[in-house]
Structure 1
Amino acid sequence: MATPLTVSAEEHDDGTPLLVAAGEIDLSNIETFSRALTTVIASAGDAGGRVTVDLSAVEYLDSAAIGALSVHADQAPGLRLLANPYLMPVLRISGIDQLATVEPAEPDPG
């Protein structure tokens, strides 16, 4: 059974927009994810176009998610992805790491 997607928009202490996603991102919920990305990127004007997308709690993403990240990377030149370490190979192979800064998320100490 698929893990439902949850997204929430937050801000870093410095005011930089942050989108936190958890669960699975696929064709069934890509509209929700894309809409959240669009909203967060639109709010990044005051942050110089810098946006962080926290994918550390994303367990799976498909080609629809890769496509959405690619499109939005073009719109936010300062896009930074914090990814679940399991997703790092997919993000590298897809070339997302050439469009955005991609970093492995720190492991949860708990």
Structure 2
Amino acid sequence: MTTPLTLTPGRRPDGTAVLTAVGEIDMSNTADLADALDRIQGPLVLDLSAVEYLDSAGLSVLFRHADRIELVANPLLDPILAISGLADVTAADSGP
């Protein structure tokens, strides 16, 4: 059974938009992720530090927004982000 995805929008003290994702990102919830990303205009920090799983459907959504997102990722996702090339086209940091 997959862990539900929770998406929480916010702002950093400098005003930069942040979207925090918790859970698993897979084909069952990528529409929710896409909708959340579409609602936020301009540069965005996408915090994936509490995401335990990311499949190809989720990667596809992230690639569509790669030119404007900075990723903060769970170290477990580092291989997927590197192999897919997403880490090369976004600003990516490993989370805590």
**Shorter-chain-normalised TM-score: which range?**
over 0.9
**Which residue of 2 is the match for residue 11 of structure 1?**
11
TM-score, length-scaled by structure 1: 0.84
Moved over 4 A (4+): none
Pairing 1:4-83 to 2, within 5 Å after superposition: 4-40=4-40, 42=41, 44=42, 50-74=43-67, 76=68, 79-83=69-73
Aligned counterpart for 2:86 among listed residues 96, 100, 104:
96
Structure 2: give runs of 5+ residues left out of the alignment.
Answer: none
> Shift in Å at residue 86 of structure 1?
0.3
Q: Matched residues in 1 for 2:16 and 2:46: separation?
A: 11
Q: Of Structure 1 and Structure 2, which has the larger fraction of its residues in helix?
A: 1
TM-score, length-scaled by structure 2: 0.96
Q: Matched residues in 1 for 2:4 and 2:20: separation?
A: 14
Show CA shifts across 1:24-78 (max 9, x none).
Answer: 00100000011111112x2x2xxxxx2100000001010001101101114x2xx
Give the letter aligned to residue 28 of structure 1: S
Larger radius of gyration: 1
Structure 1: give runs of 5+ residues left out of the alignment.
Answer: 45-49
Aligned length: 96
RMSD of Structure 2 on Structure 1 (CA): 0.8
Percent of aligned pairs with the same amino acid: 45
